[in-house]
């Protein structure tokens, strides 16, 4: 058995949840924040048999999109409070970060 921890961007989590439900997977979702932009995420915890691992990973891959976003960043040499100048910076956001862990023991109570 495997435990999938998938950190999914706020814009994509609902699509992942809908597909997991559609295919009959049980999961827990936890709101989370992190990354370069400190934007919202949802972390999914999905326990699956080894034979179903690739199907769940495919669901996550298919439903999570990366996209480019422009953010205002302070130049490395600038004093942000003194100058107030920012530089537009293009960053890639979205997608998912996935960890797959072996489950040594499982019991549903």
pLDDT at 32: 82
Q: Let me know if residue 98 belongs to a domain.
A: yes
Mean pLDDT in order along the chain per 10 residues (109 residues): 94 94 96 70 95 97 80 60 64 81 92
Terminal C-alpha separation, the chain: 17
> Is the Cβ–Cβ distance between 33 and 25 less than 8 Å?
no
Residue 79 lies in a domain: no
Rounded distance between C-alpha atoms, residue 81 and residue 98, angstroms: 37
Residue 102: what pLDDT? 97
The answer to whether residue 22 sits within a structural domain is yes
Is 87 a member of any domain?
no
For residues 60 and 48, the answer to whether their CB atoms sit within 8 Å is no
- Whole-structure pTM value: 0.76
Confirm whether 44 is domain-assigned.
Answer: yes
The answer to the question of residue 59 being in a domain is: yes
Encode pLDDT of 73-99 as tens digits.
Answer: 666 555 555 556 676 667 666 688 999
Domain that residue 30 falls in: 2-66+94-102
**Overall number of domains in the chain:** 1
CATH code for position 57: 3.30.70.120
Q: Is residue 85 situated within a structural domain?
A: no
């Amino acid at each position: 058995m495997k435990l999938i921890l998938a950190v999914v961007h706020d814009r994509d989590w609902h699509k992942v949840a809908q597909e997991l439900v559609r295919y009959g997977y049980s999961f827990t979702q936890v709101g989370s924040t992190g990354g370069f932009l400190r934007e919202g995420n949802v972390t999914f915890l999905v326990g699956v048999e080894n034979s179903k691992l690739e199907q769940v990973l495919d669901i996550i891959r298919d439903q999570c999109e990366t996209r480019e976003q422009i953010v205002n960043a302070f130049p490395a040499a600038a004093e942000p409070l003194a100058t107030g100048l920012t530089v537009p910076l293009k960053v890639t956001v979205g997608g998912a970060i996935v960890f797959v862990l072996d489950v040594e023991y499982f019991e549903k109570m």
